[in-house]
Amino acid sequence: MKSRLGALPVRRRNNARIPRRFVLPWHCATAGSICVTTLAHALPNQDALEPAGIQAAHILRLWNLTLIVCAVFFAAVLAGVLVALLRRKWADVATPPDLSGNARPERGVRRTVVALVGLVVADALTDRALSQLPVARALHIELVGWDWWWQANYAPDGDSPGFATANELHIPVGRPIVVSLTAGDVIHSFWVPNLHGKKDLLPGIRSTVEFRADKPGIYRGQCAQFCGTEHALMALAVVADPPDRYAAWAAAQRANADDSADTLAQRGKQVFEQSACASCHTVRGTRAAGALAPDLTHLMSRQTIAAGRLVNDPANLAAWIRDPGAFKPGAMMPPANLSGPDLRALVAWLGTLR
């Protein structure tokens, strides 16, 4: 089974050892004998200690300062306890308590309070630095959190029209990004620690987060606010590309879906338009204009499906369409009651949406 993340070994019944670099959670679907791989942990891990942008670097410096100060105080407390134990005096019922220390001023408490106030000042200065990112010529994206996936609406950029995608943000390296955040149902939280801190998405309230990626790469995002049954399976890939590569990707995303001449794919398009799929999903260039589920116009340009749950390949597409609840219990997408030939045709057509 191949994917953009490399060749994934097929699980055997004898539980043969899987190479360490491919240690992933597995799930065998009931779609024939297909065994599909889940991708909940295959995207790069969140890593606040490896900043890829100036915002994350500010937060890392604050973290390092806080860690040092707290470590020093923790060591001092342990040292004080150790000294007290070593210098203790044994007493009995007849020994009066020594209360002389109550009359002496505790200068250490004052120093502790001053140090903690210093952390508050450092926190305020970091917050100020985060709000001062220059956003001239910024790329504007509206990100909507749903149970349990991400809808990304790219605003028009100059003379170029906007477009929509899902569960992946592509951004150009070196250009400021302004993300407008809102939730479509319950509270979610946008968190890509390599690029910025956490920011909540609130139903009916619009907030923004600004950041800039200074290094190309793929950075894992995650909903950081418990939002329901599949909260842990609500991942977001942020792909930071060089400007020319991002421009090529965006140009392809603005185009309508290609109309394949393949007979099986044409049959799959008819299945899609005549089934409940078209009432929830949009595929630009077709009659499908649903607004309740991810835009599928360029589905196969994405690395994953189901918000990072599965590698995006035909086998996983078929298994997901047949029974989404097998992978994300509680998912809003209902199982597709399709015959084997119709399912194969539908997957063949979806495979042309690049």
177 bridge partner residues: 139, 211
CB atoms within 10 A of CB 235: 25
Distance between CA atoms of 202 and 181, rounded to whole angstroms? Answer: 8
Flag the least confident range among 27-41, 121-135, 189-203.
27-41
- Pair 149, 191 in one domain: yes
- Pair 157, 181 in one domain: yes
Q: Is residue 152 part of a domain?
A: yes
pLDDT computed for residue 36 by the predictor: 45
Distance between CA atoms of 20 and 231, rounded to whole angstroms? Answer: 27
What's the first-to-final CA gap in the chain, in angstroms? 19
Mean pLDDT of 324-340: 93
Which amino acid is it at 202?
Answer: L
- Pair 186, 271 in one domain: no
Identify whether the C-beta of residue 265 lies closer than 8 Å to the C-beta of residue 352. yes
Out of 43-52, 75-84, 342-351, the most confident range is 342-351
β-strands 168-172, 177-183 pairing: unpaired
Does the pLDDT value for residue 115 go beyond 90? Answer: no
Flag the least confident range among 89-93, 289-293, 318-322, 336-340.
89-93
Identify whether the C-beta of residue 318 lies closer than 8 Å to the C-beta of residue 34. yes
- 27-42 pLDDT, tens per residue? 444 333 344 444 444 5
- pTM for the structure as a whole: 0.80
Flag the least confident range among 82-91, 216-225, 277-286.
82-91
Task: Name which residue leads in pLDDT, 91 or 185.
Answer: 185
Distance between CA atoms of 194 and 216, rounded to whole angstroms? Answer: 12
Q: Is 112 exposed, middle or buried (0-12, 13-18, 19+ CB in 10 A)?
A: middle
pLDDT computed for residue 45 by the predictor: 82
Distance between CA atoms of 116 and 121, rounded to whole angstroms? Answer: 9
- Pair 262, 169 in one domain: no
Distance between CA atoms of 133 and 323, rounded to whole angstroms? Answer: 45
Does the pLDDT value for residue 197 go beyond 70? Answer: yes
β-strands 177-183, 139-146 pairing: parallel
- Pair 214, 292 in one domain: no
Task: Name which residue leads in pLDDT, 54 or 29.
Answer: 54
Does the pLDDT value for residue 5 go beyond 80? Answer: no
Which residue among 179, 209, 242 closes a domain?
242
Which residue among 242, 267, 289 closes a domain?
242
DSSP 298: T
Does the pLDDT value for residue 49 go beyond 80? Answer: yes
Exposure class string for 165-181: b at 16+ Cβ within 10 A, else e: bbbbbbbbbebbbbbbb
pLDDT computed for residue 232 by the predictor: 92
Which residue among 212, 242, 272 closes a domain?
242
- Give the domain extent around 305: 1-9+18-38+255-354
Mean pLDDT for the chain overall: 86
Task: Name which residue leads in pLDDT, 352 or 6.
Answer: 352
Question: Token pair for residue 236?
Answer: 């977001």
pLDDT band at 123, cuts 50/70/90? very high
Q: Is residue 90 part of a domain?
A: no
- Pair 182, 280 in one domain: no
Distance between CA atoms of 232 and 191, rounded to whole angstroms? Answer: 13
CATH number, domain containing residue 331: 2.60.40.420
Domains identified in the chain, total number: 2
Task: Name which residue leads in pLDDT, 23 or 71.
Answer: 71
- 130-169 pLDDT, tens per residue? 988 999 899 999 999 999 999 999 999 989 999 999 999 9
Mean pLDDT of 233-247: 96
- Pair 190, 338 in one domain: no
Task: Name which residue leads in pLDDT, 8 or 235.
Answer: 235
Detail the DSSP E strand segments found in 155-301: 163-166, 168-172, 177-183, 188-191, 198-201, 207-211, 217-223, 235-241
Out of 15-19, 28-32, 285-289, the most confident range is 285-289
